[in-house]
Chains A and B, each alone.
Chain A
Amino acid sequence: MNRKLLSGDEAVARGAWEAGCQVAAAYPGTPSTEILETLARYPDVYCEWSVNEKVALEVALGAALCGARALAAMKHVGLNVAADPLFSAAYIGTRGGLVIVSADDPGLHSSQNEQDNRFYALAAKIPVLCPSDSQEAKDLTRLAFDISEEFDIPVLIRLTTRIAHGSSLVELGERQSKPVTGYEKLIAKTVLLPAFAKVRHFDLEQRIGRLKAYAETTPWNRIEPGDSELGIICDGVAYHYAREVFPNASYLKLGMVFPFPTELVRRFAATVSRLVVIEDGDQFIELQVRALGLQVTGKDRLPRVGELSPAVIRQALTKTNQRPEPEPDLPSRPPALCPGCPHTGIFYALQKQNVIIGGDIGCYTLGTLPPHNAMDTCIDMGASITFAHGADKALGTADPRPRIAVIGDSTFFHSGITGLVNVAYNQSNVIVIITDNRTTGMTGHQPHPGTGQTLMGKRTVELLPEQLACACGIKNVVTVDPYRVSETRKIVKELLSRPGPAVIVSRRPCALLVREKARPKVIDAEKCTGCKTCLRLGCPALRMEGNRAQVIDTLCVGCGMCADLCPREAIS
């Protein structure tokens, strides 16, 4: 037997490969990134990092309409970006199987919200499958392609962080042969003119009706009889948590939660005295159970915020919780910008400048924390520029503080360009800083349109943010090296004093990409006066030892930003 320990992400990739998937597209986002990274290592699947999730889903739909099995993967908030094609894809349907994977992040381990994307299935009228471990992630991905083709509909797979980044054993299978069947012109299906679209809506209602019957009988929605005192309905990893806490209860384990198997639920409810719904995220199952008029315990007892765990369930639903508490009042250990991180230099340049800074999504969001305190907002991908534009239009000359946007290179390509066009077109006094570290940093160094490399390792065109900024209509575009901290601060200050719009490209590769580390810096204790100027960089490799600054040589990468700043020239 060929068994391997795979993460949920790796298992989805394996499932897609075994299902004969031909085309896959994604934009990196925790906890979904490893799906495409893994799939790209399998043979005979075209994989790409698309520019954003909307593009990825449209690419996958395009491939599926030509008869390829296609997959688009993204983190939960990515599906907001891709929501437009999602709803149209439900009307149009597909030809080759079309599978969309959403990796939700209850507990906000690495996200700006806890949204529950099962509701997208309800809203767009497409089926959603919820695996509970890696084996199911693989099996349900394979099944999703079959369902998609049989019912002519895109299928959503909802992972959560504990599935995506949890590993468990998976039995490996062989790849199915699924040749691309080709494109057939069917405009009444694929051109959503209102007259055609209305017909497609009728058709969608029929398709979802047939899927409802499927949900009632699929073995993936199954009753596991136990003690009739307590009946638990659950999906995803919550099933395994519940099994720890209530090993003897009766279970209705749902692998497909939309369309909702109402008759199965009624049958199950009739066999138990007390009904409980345990689900990660919002009340998706619970609301549908309540709509049947059934008495049920759910998020009235279980927390609505944060992720579930066996301990959380035990505490909420039993009276036996006597778990040890963590030690209070320990110094917390928030994530920090790495030693040598080029974002450090640009944030230093922005310190104490009395400005309003729209932030964006990436490592540089950590610039919010002390000592930089350099972010006023973090909203969604690309919103730094548009926030600053809106702020400028509202405040006008009444508030003299310059409006700044800080956005990473990958995020700029993802959805900063449209905002920048808007700044130029509608003329606002905004300074956009593109922190170009030549990679998608936070998610683990994926290439993007500025890197000249594709996911599959091919050389390609290399877009320059400066040229794009000019093409967007920005006349004032400058490039700085954030390692030259003093100079960067001078240039930023100078630009702040002039009317915008302007773009500053702050270019330096991510410190983690630099293989050859420079010699760690040394501080001359004779020259150091303990003024702490260098500490304002917030570099993890610098600390005070007594009343002198000191370099931690195991962490220092020798970037020299501190040396550039030191007023006593004590660092070399």
Chain B
Amino acid sequence: MNILVCGVGGQGVLLFSDLLANLALSAGLDVKKSEVHGMSQRGGSVTTHIRYGPKIYSPLIEEGTADLVVAFEKLEAVRFVHFLAESGRLVFDPYRIEPLPVQLGLVEPIDDQRLDELIESRTPNPVAVLAFETARRLGNPRVQNVVMLGAVSKFLEFPTESYKAVIRTLVKAEFLEINLAAFAAGQSLLNRL
């Protein structure tokens, strides 16, 4: 299984990836995860590669071979959708964060409709998940990542209990309740599709 996760620095991509990788570990699989820290995190594009299965060599996913691309932001979804395999699935939050040069008026923005066209030209059945909006409604936009995990769980084979267990292990006790709520909310977002 090849999962590429992308978003903007500060969106919680790294915790999302930790949760997913530990989930695979708890299922007894070989797991590799690759990410980059440091300068790229300061509001820049962030990606992690997660691969799991009986035996994994490379920690990096090749373009055109991802089973899932999970995007926390729409422009980033378009930036990394080419990693998808033909049979792969894009799960993305249509939430937009303008890159700073666009915000400052130094670079032309790219409109929503154009992004939709670009996504459609690349993959036949993308799934939009209003994770940020849901997290905000729950009272903490920072749990966008765990809402996303709830949504993504629909495309993975792990039982709900395993997700909850790994959330309990990796999330600080004071934020446990809202994260479990976020996970459930993410799951039900896709039930309604």
Contact with A along B120-164 (1 / 0, CB 8 A): 001000000000000010000100000000000000000000000
Contact in complex: B37, A110 (CB < 8 Å):
yes
Please report the C-alpha to C-alpha distance between residue A82 and residue B78 in the assembled complex, in whole angstroms.
43
Number of interface residues of B (CB under 8 A): 54
Give the CA-CA distance A259 to B8 in the complex, in Å: 43
Contact of A165 with B by CB under 8 A: yes
CB–CB B44/A334 < 8 A: yes
Please determine whether A243 and B58 come into contact, CB atoms closer than 8 angstroms.
Answer: yes
B22 interface residue per 8 A CB criterion: yes
Contact (Cβ within 8 A) B30 A169: yes
Is the C-beta of A543 less than 8 angstroms from some C-beta in chain B? Answer: yes
Partner of A133, one of B32, B42, B44: B32
Q: How far is the CA of A532 from the CA of B33 in the complex (A)?
A: 43
Complex Cα distance, B39 from A338, in Å, reads: 12
Q: How far is the CA of A296 from the CA of B74 in the complex (A)?
A: 45
| Residue B109, interface by CB 8 Å | yes
CB of B31 within 8 Å of the partner chain: yes
- Given A332-B99, A338-B43, also A166-B32 (CB < 8 A): yes
Closest chain B residue to A309 by CB distance? B60
Across-interface contacts of A310 in B (CB, < 8 A): 58, 60, 62
Minimum CB distance partner of A330 in chain B: B79
Whether A241 contacts B79 in the complex (CB less than 8 A), given A5-B33, A442-B39, comes out as no
Inter-subunit contact B40/A326 (CB<8 Å): no
> How many angstroms from the CA of A5 to the CA of B25 in the assembled complex?
7
Q: Are B33 and A323 in contact (CB under 8 A)?
A: no
| A136 CB to nearest B CB, Å | 13
> Is chain A's interface secondary structure helix, strand, loop, or mixed overall?
loop
* Distance between Cα atoms of A544 and B64 in the complex (Å): 37
Chain B, range 86-129, C-beta contacts under 8 Å to A? 98-110, 118, 122
Report which of A133, A244, A327, A535 forms a contact with B118, defined as CB distance below 8 A. Answer: A327
Cα separation A322 to B86 with both chains bound (whole Å): 13
With both chains docked as a complex, state the minimum distance between the C-beta of A224 and any C-beta of chain B, in angstroms: 12
Distance in Å from the Cβ of A543 to the closest Cβ of chain B? 5
A331 close to B (CB within 8 Å): yes
Contact indicator A543/B103 (Cβ below 8 Å): yes
Rounded to whole angstroms, the CA-CA distance of A335 and B10 in the bound complex is 11
A168 B31 Cβ-Cβ under 8 A: yes
Chain B residues in the interface with A (C-beta under 8 A): 8-9, 21-22, 25, 30-45, 56-60, 62-64, 75-76, 78-82, 84, 98-110, 118, 122, 136, 141
Question: Measuring CB to CB, which residues of chain A are less than 8 angstroms from any residue of chain B?
Answer: 3-5, 30-31, 33, 109-110, 133, 161-162, 165-169, 237, 240-241, 243-244, 309-311, 314, 322-327, 330-338, 363, 365-366, 370-371, 442-444, 532, 535, 538, 540, 542-544, 554
Contacts beyond the supplied A237-B58, A331-B101, A332-B99: 9 A-B pairs with Cβ under 8 Å: A110-B40, A167-B32, A237-B59, A241-B57, A325-B63, A331-B99, A336-B100, A535-B105, A554-B136
Between-chain CB contacts (< 8 Å), 15 pairs: A4-B25, A5-B33, A110-B38, A110-B39, A168-B59, A237-B58, A324-B63, A327-B79, A330-B78, A333-B45, A334-B101, A443-B38, A444-B37, A532-B105, A554-B141
